[in-house]
Amino acid sequence: MKTADVDILIIPGWSSSGPDHWQTRWETRLPNARRVEQEDWYKPTRDGWASQIVAAVRAASRPVVLVAHSAGCSAVAHAAEHLRHGDVAGGFLVAPASERAKRAIPGMGADFIPHRRERLPFPSVLIASATDPYCTPEEARELAEAWGSQYVDAGDSGHLNTESGHGPWPDGLLRFGGFLKGLGAVPERVIQVGS
- Cα–Cα distance measured from residue 110 to residue 73, given in angstroms and rounded to the nearest whole number: 16
CB 93 within 8 A of CB 126: yes
Buried b (16+ CB within 10 A) or exposed e, 25-62: bbbeebebbebbebeebeebbbebbbbbbbebbeebee
- Cα–Cα distance measured from residue 111 to residue 113, given in angstroms and rounded to the nearest whole number: 6
Q: Tell me how many domains the chain contains.
A: 1
Asked whether residue 30 is assigned to any structural domain, the reply reads: yes
Planar angle of CA 86, 49, 6, nearest 5 degrees: 35
Q: What pLDDT, on a 0 to 100 scale, did the predictor assign at position 102?
A: 63
Asked whether residue 193 is assigned to any structural domain, the reply reads: no
Q: What pLDDT, on a 0 to 100 scale, did the predictor assign at position 100?
A: 63
Q: What pLDDT, on a 0 to 100 scale, did the predictor assign at position 86?
A: 87
Cβ neighbourhood burial of 168 (10 Å; 0-12, 13-18, 19+): middle
Q: Of the candidates 150, 139, 133, 162, which has an alpha carbon nearest to the alpha carbon of residue 19? A: 162
148 band by pLDDT with thresholds 50, 70 and 90: very high
Asked whether residue 94 is assigned to any structural domain, the reply reads: yes
Query: Of all residues in the chain, what percent carry a pLDDT higher than 90?
Result: 64
CB 157 within 8 A of CB 94: no
**What domain range includes position 55?**
3-183
Amino acid identity of residue 101, one-letter, is: A
CATH code, domain carrying 11: 3.40.50.1820
| pLDDT tens, position by position, 54-89 | 999 999 999 999 999 999 999 999 999 999 888 999
Asked whether residue 159 is assigned to any structural domain, the reply reads: yes
pLDDT average, residue stretch 148-163: 89
Does this model's pTM top 0.85? My answer is yes
Q: Which residue has the higher pLDDT, 113 or 126?
A: 126
Asked whether residue 61 is assigned to any structural domain, the reply reads: yes
Q: Which residue has the higher pLDDT, 153 or 106?
A: 153
167 band by pLDDT with thresholds 50, 70 and 90: confident
In a 3-state reduction of DSSP, which class is residue 23?
A: helix
Asked whether residue 149 is assigned to any structural domain, the reply reads: yes
In a 3-state reduction of DSSP, which class is residue 116?
A: coil
Q: What pLDDT, on a 0 to 100 scale, did the predictor assign at position 191?
A: 39
Asked whether residue 176 is assigned to any structural domain, the reply reads: yes
Residue 142, Ramachandran bin (φ over 0: left; ψ between -120 and 50: alpha; else beta): alpha
- Cα–Cα distance measured from residue 14 to residue 161, given in angstroms and rounded to the nearest whole number: 12
Asked whether residue 190 is assigned to any structural domain, the reply reads: no
Mean of all residue pLDDT scores within the chain: 87
Q: Of the candidates 95, 24, 10, which has an alpha carbon nearest to the alpha carbon of residue 57? A: 10
CB 167 within 8 A of CB 109: no
